[in-house]
């Protein structure tokens, strides 16, 4: 789905859901088009569709769905960095308040907490003690096995490049 009328042959203004994207793909296929998708330029929503589109037989151009998952899945990414002997701040994941407290106790305060599978810092917080961590877990997020919370050591005066 493109909104660039200068380069696209056709424009579709549809919601970015799997069903709607597949409907456009089927329309293009029935018109004889060779259909591929590029999911990098629409934010988090199309990134989340990449794996399902690939499973449905749609060719994904650019970054593969597996590479997208590797960048978003903290456990996989941490393993990759360890395999490459690249250091990183201590981190953990939590699916409950108790797990978040245990991870923070192991890592040491301050910690950065944020939802997993979210790029760009949405709902991120720096917490300096258990009270602030409990407040974050109660009010800011809905942690579950499907939506774990990342707990990372906060590096004072660090720069991210």
Per-residue pLDDT of the chain (161 residues; tens, 9 = 90+): 556 667 777 888 888 899 999 999 999 898 887 888 888 777 777 888 888 999 999 999 988 888 988 888 878 888 999 999 999 999 998 989 999 999 999 999 999 998 876 656 677 899 999 999 999 988 867 766 677 888 999 999 888 77
Does the residue 103 lie in any domain?
Answer: yes
Same domain, 22 and 64: yes
pLDDT of residue 118: 62
Backbone dihedral angles phi then psi of residue 155, each to the nearest 5 degrees: -100, 110
For the full predicted model, state whether its pTM sits above 0.75: no
Task: Give the max Cα distance, the chain.
Answer: 60
Same domain, 110 and 138: yes
pLDDT of residue 49: 87
Contacts of 104 (CB under 8 A, 6+ apart): 111, 127, 130, 133, 151
Same domain, 37 and 64: yes
Same domain, 96 and 144: yes
Residues of the domain holding 116 = 87-153
Q: How many domains does the chain have?
A: 2
pLDDT of residue 135: 92
Does the residue 2 lie in any domain?
Answer: no
Same domain, 101 and 64: no
d(CA 151, CA 67): 22
pLDDT of residue 144: 63
The residues with which 127 forms a beta bridge, in sequence order, are: 111
pLDDT of residue 68: 86
Name the token pair of 30: 């029935």
Residue 55 CB coordination number (10 Å): 10
């Amino acid at each position: 789905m493109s909104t660039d009328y200068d380069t696209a042959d056709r424009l579709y203004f549809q919601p970015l859901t799997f069903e709607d994207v597949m409907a456009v793909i089927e329309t293009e296929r029935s018109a004889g088009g060779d259909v591929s998708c590029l999911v990098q330029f629409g934010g988090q929503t199309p990134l989340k569709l990449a794996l399902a589109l690939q499973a449905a037989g749609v060719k994904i151009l650019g970054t593969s769905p597996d590479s997208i998952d590797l960048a978003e899945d903290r456990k996989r990414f941490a393993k990759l960095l360890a395999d490459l002997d690249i250091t990183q701040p201590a981190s953990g994941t939590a699916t409950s308040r108790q797990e978040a407290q245990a991870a923070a106790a192991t890592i040491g305060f301050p910690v950065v907490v944020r939802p997993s599978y979210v790029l760009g810092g949405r709902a991120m917080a720096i917490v300096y003690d258990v009270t602030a961590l409990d407040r974050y877990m109660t009010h800011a997020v809905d942690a579950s096995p499907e939506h774990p919370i990342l707990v990372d050591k906060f590096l004072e005066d660090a720069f991210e490049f």
